[in-house]
Amino acid sequence: MTGNAFKGLNVRGLSVDYQTASGKVHALRNVDLDVPAGAVVGIVGESGCGKSSLISSIIGQAPDNAQISGRIDFNHQSLLELPPDRMRDLMGQRISVVFQDPMTSLNPIRSIGRQMIDIQYRTGRGRAEKREYAIEMLKKVGVSDPADRMNQYAFQLSGGMRQRVSIAMALMARPDLLIADEPTTALDTTLEVQIIRLLKELQKEIGCSILLVSHHLGMIAELCDYVVVLYAGEVAEAGTVRDIFHHSLHPYTRRLLECDPGLIEKVTRRLPTIAGEIPNLLQISPGCIFAPRCDCAQQACLARRPPLLQLGPGRRVACHRAAELDAA
Amino acid sequence: MAAVVSWRFETSRVGISGTLGRIPAALRLVTRSRLGAFGLMIVVAFILIGIFGAWLAPHDPNAINVRARLAPPSWTNLLGTDQLGRDILSRVLVGTRVSLLVALSSILLAAALGILMGLASGYGPRWLDRILIAIFDTVRSFPTLMFGIAVIALFGPSIWTVIAIIVTTTFPIYARIVRTQTMAIKNTEFILAERSIGASPVRIAFVHVLPNIVGQLFILASMDVPVVIMIESGLSFLGLGIRPPNASWGTILNDGYAFVRNSPWPVIAGGVPLILTTIGFTFLGETLRDLLDPKLRNER
């Protein structure tokens, strides 16, 4: 399978600025990210931390007013410099995406079957073969009566079913990299668990890498091998899922974990929050981006930006006091 | 059981016909709905009258018979006569061609132009949108009749000038609607998915956006039929469109208004075909929209 030749997605020093009426919004600053072959990497962060900017830069669909710098390498090919026709060969073949909103990710006036057949236009299969493969994929993602569903339309399916169809369509080409952009946000909790299990099973079977964007910590913990914590457009911390959940170093990650209702043992009336607001991305302060909301912030934190320290292979943290806090 | 299977087969066929290029196939399916069959029947009947009206007419539509002015229906003049004693039935039959020609060609042209410009404006770059919107609003702000008089003064009266005037003044309505609908659809994720796999803007606009919005246009276009015929009659009334003694539904109606106290027949004879065509086109348009929209298709 081509998956063997896949050498991963490497993002280096990615910065995205949006030119707006009120000035330049620095949505992403110097982001590094690695998705090794066969691994599931989660990106976690609050709303507005740049998750979507990251995804749209990778798939080449950043808005017109975006200025992108840095490198995005897929299989050692720079995606940002790739000519459109080469990009076309990658997208939907080697890279595919499951979008956030299953309500709008299918064309409402084309039958599910037609869309699933159409999307195989590059395979060179015959029509009957395509249809059969589509039905097989639907069966694989747990859609009941797959043959009948082929004649149905998006509005006849529930949200969970639609997301399953999206996943089936994304995995049809057996991509090397599946990007899942908050695939369960629009679904309820029971469905969420089902979709997570489904993604996990399919990932094992197909052997693809997954880049999973979510603000659901439980889902990240369940599914991922590596986690990248984004805060206000910067990488706060990165590491294996065990590192992040059991041995987090960055104060932001710690606070984030404290705030996850799923991890709170005591029953409380008030859920914990992180005080303060996410910073204004029009003007970036010279210090640590999290310092204004950080309990452990010191003078140095406000004055100087902490570098992203490499603590081990794939283990990185951007905090001046990481070493002290770790010891404490 | 067999019925269920065949119905399913049909729905899948309609699904495949869900694009513009397959409208003829949808047209065959129109007859499945009672409303659609009725609409289609009326429209086809009027188109046949439009083509063969001159041969069907029992009298010369322009032959004046001053003795029998404003006569009620009789065996010689089935719909009576007008203020000059001309046979109204013959005039309606002959006038159908002009009225339908003006209505159909101007609505088709206006809708086609509106769709093109609306898609370009809604899906294209923002600068293009700004320019096109400025054009739409400028053109919309012309008073139709004044604009018509000016254009006719420049190019001389003819059916084609009338059609050109109607197209210019009505296409911005279609364009505006297409633009708004396009903008609503362009931000959905299936369009983003299309873009990311490298589909060209033209393909996305025509294959994915247009079939999603074209249904509403059918209704709008059908309801515009009487409006357009009335614009034509308005211009004809001013001697700018169809010149007397030639007949059109609009001129028959206008002549009828003037003498409605003396005889209701000219107004009735000119009005009923107008109402019937409108009904026919609306039914047909509604059925077509339902066929193109899977949601409505399955409800029936």
3-state secondary structure chain A: CHHHHCCCEEEEEEEEEEEECCEEEEEEEEEEEEECCCCEEEEECCCCCCHHHHHHHHCCCCCCCEEEEEEEEECCEECCCCCHHHHHHHECCCEEEECCCCCCCCCCCCCHHHHHHHCCCCCCCCHHHHHHHHHHHHHHCCCCCHHHHCCCCHHHCCHHHHHHHHHHHHHCCCCCEEEEECCCCCCCHHHHHHHHHHHHHHHHHHCCEEEEEECCHHHHHHHCCEEEEEECCEEEEEEEHHHHHHCCCCHHHHHHHHHCHHHCCCCCCCCCCCCCCCCCCCCCCCCCCCHHHCCCCCHHHHHCCCCCEEEECCEEECCCCHHHHHHC
**pTM higher than 0.80:** no
Q: Do A97 and B11 touch (CB under 8 A)?
A: no
Q: What are the structural domain ranges in chain B?
A: 44-62+74-299
A61 interaction partners in chain B (CB closer than 8 Å): 192, 195-196
With a CB-CB cutoff of 8 Å, which residues 264-323 of chain A face chain B?
Answer: none
Closest to B232 in 3D by CA, of B159, B153, B171, B147 = B159
| Nearest-CB residue to A151 (from B11, B190, B295) | B11
pLDDT in tens, B93-110: 888 888 888 888 999 999
pLDDT in tens, B76-86: 777 777 777 78
A109 interaction partners in chain B (CB closer than 8 Å): 18, 211-212, 292-294
| B188 at A interface, C-beta within 8 A | yes
Cβ neighbour number for residue B237 with a 10 Å cutoff: 17
Query: Cα distance from A221 to chain B (closest Cα, Å)?
Result: 27
Q: What does pLDDT average to over chain B?
A: 81
- Candidate from A287-291, B4-8, B11-15, B97-101 with smallest mean pLDDT: B4-8
| Nearest-CB residue to B15 (from A84, A105, A111) | A111
pLDDT at B298: 55
| Nearest-CB residue to A109 (from B193, B195, B211) | B211
Query: Cα distance from B141 to chain A (closest Cα, Å)?
Result: 31
Model-level ipTM above the cut of 0.85: no
Q: Do A92 and B196 touch (CB under 8 A)?
A: yes
Which residues are CB-contacts of B196 (< 8 A; sequence separation ≥ 6)?
Answer: A59, A60, A61, A91, A92, A97
B189 interaction partners in chain A (CB closer than 8 Å): 99-101, 104-105
pLDDT at B297: 66
CB pairs under 8 A between A and B: 66
The proportion of chain B whose per-residue pLDDT surpasses 90, expressed as a percent, equals 16
| Residue B135 scores a pLDDT above 90 | yes
Say which residue, B244 or A164, is predicted with more confidence. Answer: A164
| A245 at B interface, C-beta within 8 A | no
Query: Cα distance from B138 to chain A (closest Cα, Å)?
Result: 28
pLDDT at A3: 42
| A106 at B interface, C-beta within 8 A | yes
| Nearest-CB residue to A61 (from B16, B195, B294) | B195
| A175 at B interface, C-beta within 8 A | no
Q: Do A109 and B192 touch (CB under 8 A)?
A: no
Which residues are CB-contacts of A212 (< 8 A; sequence separation ≥ 6)?
Answer: A40, A41, A42, A43, A180, A183, A199, A219, A220, A223, A224
| B8 at A interface, C-beta within 8 A | yes
**CATH fold of B44-62+74-299, please?**
MetI-like fold (1.10.3720)
- Residues A199, A167 contacting (CB under 8 angstroms): yes
Which residues are CB-contacts of A261 (< 8 A; sequence separation ≥ 6)?
Answer: A271
pLDDT at A2: 45
**CATH fold of A2-94+173-327, please?**
Rossmann fold (3.40.50)
Q: Which residue of A has its CA nearest to B293?
A: A109
Q: Which residue of A has its CA nearest to B297?
A: A109
Q: What does pLDDT average to over chain A?
A: 86
Query: Cα distance from B18 to chain A (closest Cα, Å)?
Result: 7
Distance CA(B25)–CA(B14), nearest Å, equals 8
| Residue B10 scores a pLDDT above 70 | no
pLDDT at A87: 87
pLDDT at B172: 93
Cβ neighbour number for residue B74 with a 10 Å cutoff: 11
| Residue B171 scores a pLDDT above 90 | yes
A113 interaction partners in chain B (CB closer than 8 Å): 12, 15
Cis peptide before A307 (omega within 30 of 0): no
Band the pLDDT of A312: cuts 50, 70, 90.
confident
Q: Do A84 and B198 touch (CB under 8 A)?
A: yes
How many residues make up chain B in this entry? 300
Q: Which residue of B has its CA nearest to A156?
A: B295
- Helix B144-155 vs helix B210-237: angle between axes, to the nearest 10 degrees? 70
| B143 at A interface, C-beta within 8 A | no
B211 interaction partners in chain A (CB closer than 8 Å): 109-110
Substitution target in A110, A122, A151 with the highest count of B β-carbons within 10 Å is A110
Band the pLDDT of A177: cuts 50, 70, 90.
very high
Substitution target in A82, A90, A106, A109 with the highest count of B β-carbons within 10 Å is A109
| Nearest-CB residue to B196 (from A97, A101, A153) | A97
Cβ neighbour number for residue B180 with a 10 Å cutoff: 14
With a CB-CB cutoff of 8 Å, which residues 54-73 of chain B face chain A?
Answer: none
A88 interaction partners in chain B (CB closer than 8 Å): 197-198
| Nearest-CB residue to B188 (from A91, A104, A114) | A104
Say which residue, B6 or A256, is predicted with more confidence. Answer: A256
| B294 at A interface, C-beta within 8 A | yes
What number is the average pLDDT over the span B164-182?
Answer: 92
Q: What are the structural domain ranges in chain A?
A: 2-94+173-327, 103-172
Distance CA(A270)–CA(A262), nearest Å, equals 14
B198 interaction partners in chain A (CB closer than 8 Å): 84-85, 87-88, 91-92
- Residues A318, A234 contacting (CB under 8 angstroms): yes
pLDDT at B20: 55
